[in-house]
Amino acid sequence: MNSIAFLVATFAVATTVTDGANHPTAPSGAPVLATGIHLTLSTYDEMTEGKTVFIKFYAPWCGHCKQMAPAWEALHMEYADHDVAFIAEVDCTDDSDQGGDELCEEHGVDGFPALLWGNPGALQKYTGGRDYESMAAFAKEFVTKQACSLSHLDSCSDEEKKELETQNAYTDDELKAIVQKIAKAVNVEDLKHEVESDRIQDEYEKITTEHNAVLEQIKTDYNYPVLVQVLKNRGIAIPDPDDIEDDDDDDDMADAGDEL
């Protein structure tokens, strides 16, 4: 676990609003992909307290999410009554007040399905296989044990414990200053990314405009509108460029490269 994750864990504060249910169902109107526990921003802290979690963040329209739903449901059923392991899912399209979409945003989910695990206050990405066997093996080895945290230092390695103790020794002002420094660095990188993305987009539009102009010139050179009239008059189908066989594709690509 990196320093930022430890910092997040240190700052984690329970702000739970309970709904009186131990096992919330899927958000109203959202297709149920599994019978597991569905978390929202309002239920997250209470439901995950004291657990090591393995959470699937999904969208109902996501094909990959639907494909892995049976495996995820089986995994949930296997650990439904486990003292430590907590298998759940979050519908990132649930836009109700303090719903799943806010929870997904809080954890930086930007693709589906996203599988995160570990300390509820400092989740880590799961990068293993999405089949049942891979996820079950991972859960058995890692999720069944208490995650390293301030409240479970006995689950930490010496290195993790030292990092946690170092971070926890900072004053509130020192911690806030570190967070501000991180936020500033992230903003700088976001700005760099935005500038570079705009540059690439401008370049793409320029290339596309030039490409379209060349295509129009080719049609003009061969008086294409008249050619189309003659073809139609003779009942000859206008060939699709993608269907035209060209034995000189490699030469064509070389010529295009030379022109660039």
**What are the pLDDT digits (tens) for 214-232?**
999 999 999 988 998 998 8
Tally of structural domains, the chain: 2
Angle of helix 172-221 versus helix 3-11 axis, rounded to 10: 120
What does pTM read for this prediction? 0.62
Higher pLDDT: 111 or 30? It is: 111
pLDDT bracket for residue 199 (50, 70, 90)? very high
84 C-beta neighbours (distance < 10 Å), count: 16
Q: Are residues 164 and 198 in the same domain?
A: no
Q: Are residues 56 and 162 in the same domain?
A: yes
Q: Are residues 181 and 60 in the same domain?
A: no
Give the domain-ending residue among 136, 169, 202. Answer: 169
Three-state DSSP at 179 gives helix
Supply the pLDDT for residue 5.
38
Nearest-Å Rg of the Cα atoms of the chain is 27
Euclidean distance between CA atoms 73 and 80, whole angstroms: 10
Domain limits for position 221: 176-259
Q: What CATH number did the domain enclosing 14 receive? A: 3.40.30.10
Supply the pLDDT for residue 245.
65
